């Protein structure tokens, strides 16, 4: 399973990329706002750091405008994935942009039927939002499983990109289900390395090592 980093923080991306934990990056208007930087400038910097796809989101609501914005964003670098919303206009834009050979990430997916349309429109990625479904007492992981089943039934090439990841459990469960990608904030990806028993065991080892009076260096 691929890890995409859901942030526009270039320092956080660089740290994870150095470890081989950044197979791609996803951004959105909220993350650009949080970065406090110009969208074109920061996206170009991220694309230069990362070999994999970097999702940059359009902000238009009409198909023709989305297409125009998508074409401009795609000129930033060869690894740009144009991010469009899962609306009727977004699907129209996806069809045109994917037909031009551009990677397209169809975002804000909340149902299997939406994901089916995205695949048929030629999406490179579809982004179902797990956490936001959990917020309204619907199990977001069920949606990942439904989309995985549909895509496998018909050999769709669109990759399932699980988004709105809130916890380590979301990541591990997506891996079990067979999500192609998860995109998560840096802090969630770092938490994958944490376990209370690891900390407890390390503390015990350090205590015993101190008693030996030895050193390695």
Going along the chain from its start, the domains and CATH numbers come out as: 2-212 (3.20.20.70)
pLDDT of residue 196: 97
Model pTM score: 0.95
Low-confidence ranges of the chain (pLDDT < 50): none
Cα–Cα distance list, 73 to 37, 62, 69 (Å): 16, 16, 6
* DSSP structural state of residue 184: E
The set of residues, in sequence order, having a beta carbon less than 8 Å from that of 59 and lying 6+ positions away, is: 29, 69
Q: Catalytic pick from 83, 92, 157, 211?
A: 83
| Beta pairing, strands 54-57 & 24-26 | parallel
Q: Going by C-beta distance under 8 Å and a sequence separation of 6 or more, which residues neighbour residue 138? A: none
- Residue 24 pLDDT: 98
The DSSP bridge partners found for residue 36 are none
Q: Regarding beta strands 80-85 and 181-184, do their DSSP bridges make them parallel or antiparallel, or are they unpaired?
A: unpaired
pLDDT of residue 22: 98
Task: In the chain, count H helices and then E strands.
Answer: 11, 8
Active site residue 200: no
CB atoms < 10 A from the CB of 141, how many? 20
- Residues 6 or more apart whose Cβ sits within 8 Å of residue 26: 4, 5, 6, 54, 55, 83, 105, 127, 161, 163, 183
């Amino acid at each position: 399973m691929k890890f995409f980093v859901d942030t526009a923080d270039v320092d956080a991306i660089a740290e994870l990329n150095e470890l081989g934990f950044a197979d791609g990056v996803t951004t959105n208007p909220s993350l650009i706002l949080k970065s406090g930087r110009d969208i074109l400038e920061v996206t170009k910097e991220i694309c230069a750091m990362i070999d994999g796809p970097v999702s940059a989101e359009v902000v238009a609501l009409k198909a023709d405008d989305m297409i125009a914005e998508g074409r401009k964003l795609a000129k930033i670098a060869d690894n740009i994935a144009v991010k469009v919303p899962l609306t009727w206009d977004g699907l129209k834009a996806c069809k045109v942009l994917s037909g031009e050979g551009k990677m397209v990430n169809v975002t804000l997916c909340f149902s299997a039927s939406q994901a089916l349309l995205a695949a048929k429109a030629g999406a490179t990625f579809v982004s179902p939002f797990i956490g936001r479904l959990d917020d309204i007492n619907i199990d977001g992981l069920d949606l990942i499983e439904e989309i995985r089943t549909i895509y496998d039934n018909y050999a769709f090439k669109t990759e399932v990109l699980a988004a709105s990841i809130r916890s380590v459990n979301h990541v591990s469960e997506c891996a079990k289900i067979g999500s192609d990608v998860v995109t998560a904030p840096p802090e969630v990806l770092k938490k994958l390395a944490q376990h209370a028993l690891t900390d407890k065991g390390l503390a015990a080892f350090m205590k015993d090592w101190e008693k030996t009076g030895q050193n390695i260096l």
